[in-house]
């Protein structure tokens, strides 16, 4: 395992705050991640002045190296609070992005246009880490934190950020604070093992989600049982094949529109490097429901599904478009399952909740819940 850019930013901010408020110099900082794993990280590039303290944590991606591996994530902390329109605020604290942290240039992401691409959970980690030191030192004044990743300017060119409307750097990411190895063999083996454990416990049906967003929606919005859930990452096809090999009688796929819409084109590996047909699918199905040429062209130019769905919603055809998409998803999923077991899907978005279900999704959901109750 490694640790995320979000963990780096939070640890750097914590170390800088400690040094600013104590006047001491530290070479290592402790950070508890949302996953519950405690990190002890080396502090580098320390710079202490009368006005601020700046230091850095070096990103480590573990056995899943990516373009951010080895980059230095800096935090600069001052005894004042930013008052810009683009900063994030919590109490007496402000947070901004500096050089190498991307800026949002297009609506549809969780941040506003103009704000730094520091995602929600890393923001909370940063604020919590700084607040911890303030409480420890009895400091109740204002503080500003600026996160910068100088090498992120060049690294971003190798990512999908420009396509998402994030310019000038990389994103500060991470839902758990930990980077888990993502080799294809390790992931597919894990999918099989998780499903096998469910099957060995006497269950013949289960839920499939791509990752944390799907799991959160399943447990928090649908209030379903996480113990009967397998995370498949991008490997939908492999999960379906595992269900066949293990003799499952049914699987229900629950996922965000950003991934699941690709299933409507028969794409069973939803990683963006494998295929990105999101706008093509939505544009075609909108056209099938009467969208005019101009609107179809606008959908094709969208950078994300949130923006595309907004256009479709404005046209008043969201419901029939989603019904059409789900019918096509059902077609491809049923074909991949080969009639050997039940398969269905539920697709959601953060804005709309459930967007659509395959025709048998409700029945399959009821069967999984009944099977659980009988145990």
Beta bridge mates, 345: 253
Domain ranges (residues) in the chain:
2-179, 184-373
Which pLDDT band holds residue 189 (cuts at 50, 70, 90)? confident
Which pLDDT band holds residue 263 (cuts at 50, 70, 90)? very high
Which pLDDT band holds residue 193 (cuts at 50, 70, 90)? confident
Is residue 375 pLDDT above 90, yes or no? no
- pLDDT at position 63: 79
For the stretch 84-119, pLDDT in tens is 899 999 999 999 999 999 999 887 678 999 999 999
- pLDDT at position 183: 59
Hey, how many other C-beta atoms are within 10 angstroms of the C-beta on 77? 26
pLDDT mean across residues, the chain:
93
Which pLDDT band holds residue 266 (cuts at 50, 70, 90)? very high
Q: 157 versus 29: which is more confidently predicted? A: 29
Give the Cα separation of 189 and 281 in Å (integer). Answer: 30
Is residue 186 pLDDT above 80, yes or no? no
- pLDDT at position 106: 81
Give the Cα separation of 268 and 279 in Å (integer). Answer: 17
Which pLDDT band holds residue 65 (cuts at 50, 70, 90)? low
Is residue 164 pLDDT above 80, yes or no? no
Mean pLDDT along residues 48-72: 91
- pLDDT at position 182: 62
* CATH number assigned to the domain with residue range 2-179, chosen from the 4 options 3.30.2110.10, 1.10.10.60, 3.40.50.2300, 3.10.129.10: 3.30.2110.10
Mean pLDDT along residues 256-281: 94
Chain-centre distance for alpha carbon 129: 21
- pLDDT at position 185: 72
Rounded to 5 degrees, what are φ and ψ at 118? -110, 110
Cβ(218)–Cβ(252) under 8 Å? no
Query: What does 180-217 look like in DSSP terms, one character per residue?
Result: PP--HHHHHHHHHHHHHHHHHTT-SEEEEESSHHHHHI
Hey, how many other C-beta atoms are within 10 angstroms of the C-beta on 200? 9
What 3-state DSSP class applies to 105? coil
Q: What is the pTM of this model?
A: 0.64
Helix or strand (DSSP H, E) at 357? strand 353-357
Beta bridge mates, 148: 74
pLDDT > 70 in the chain, percent: 98
For the stretch 3-27, pLDDT in tens is 999 999 999 999 999 999 999 999 9
- pLDDT at position 163: 66
For the stretch 281-329, pLDDT in tens is 999 999 999 999 999 999 999 989 999 999 999 999 999 999 999 999 9
Give the Cα separation of 298 and 261 in Å (integer). Answer: 18
Mean pLDDT along residues 357-369: 96
Joined tokens for residue 206: 């289960």
Is residue 225 pLDDT above 90, yes or no? no
Give the Cα separation of 318 and 92 in Å (integer). Answer: 42
């Amino acid at each position: 395992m490694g640790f995320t850019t979000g963990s780096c930013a939070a640890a750097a901010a914590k170390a800088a705050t400690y040094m600013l408020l104590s006047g001491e110099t530290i070479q290592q900082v402790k950070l508890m991640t949302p996953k519950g794993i405690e990190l002890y990280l080396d502090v580098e590039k320390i710079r202490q002045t009368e006005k601020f303290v700046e230091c850095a944590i070096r990103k480590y991606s573990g056995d899943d190296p990516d373009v951010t591996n080895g980059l230095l994530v800096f935090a600069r902390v001052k005894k004042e609070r930013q008052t810009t329109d683009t900063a994030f605020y919590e109490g007496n604290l402000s947070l901004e992005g500096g050089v190498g942290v991307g800026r949002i240039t297009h609506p549809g992401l969780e941040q506003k246009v103009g704000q730094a691409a520091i995602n929600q959970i890393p923001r909370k980690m940063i604020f919590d880490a700084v607040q911890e030191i303030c409480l420890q030192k009895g400091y109740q004044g204002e503080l500003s934190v600026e996160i910068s990743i100088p090498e992120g300017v060049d690294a971003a060119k190798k990512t999908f950020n420009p396509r998402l409307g994030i310019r000038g750097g990389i994103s500060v990411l991470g839902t758990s604070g930990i980077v888990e190895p993502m080799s294809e063999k390790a992931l597919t083996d894990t999918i099989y093992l998780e499903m096998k454990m469910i099957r060995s416990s006497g269950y013949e049906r289960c839920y499939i989600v791509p990752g944390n967003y799907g799991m959160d929606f399943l447990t928090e919005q649908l209030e379903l049982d996480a113990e009967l859930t397998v995370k498949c990452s991008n490997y939908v096809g492999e999960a379906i094949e595992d269900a066949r090999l293990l003799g499952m009688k049914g699987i229900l796929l629950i996922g965000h529109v950003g991934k699941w819409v690709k299933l409507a084109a028969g794409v069973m590996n939803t990683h963006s490097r494998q295929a990105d047909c999101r706008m093509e699918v939505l544009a075609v199905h909108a056209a099938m429901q009467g969208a005019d040429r101009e609107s179809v062209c606008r959908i094709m130019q969208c950078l994300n599904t949130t923006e595309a769905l907004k256009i479709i919603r404005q046209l008043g055809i969201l419901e029939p478009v989603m019904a059409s998409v789900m019918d096509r998803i059902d077609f491809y999923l049923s074909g991949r399952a080969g009639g050997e077991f039940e398969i269905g899907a539920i697709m959601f978005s953060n804005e709309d909740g459930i967007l659509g279900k395959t025709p048998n999704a409700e029945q399959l959901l009821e069967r999984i819940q009944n099977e659980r109750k009988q145990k």
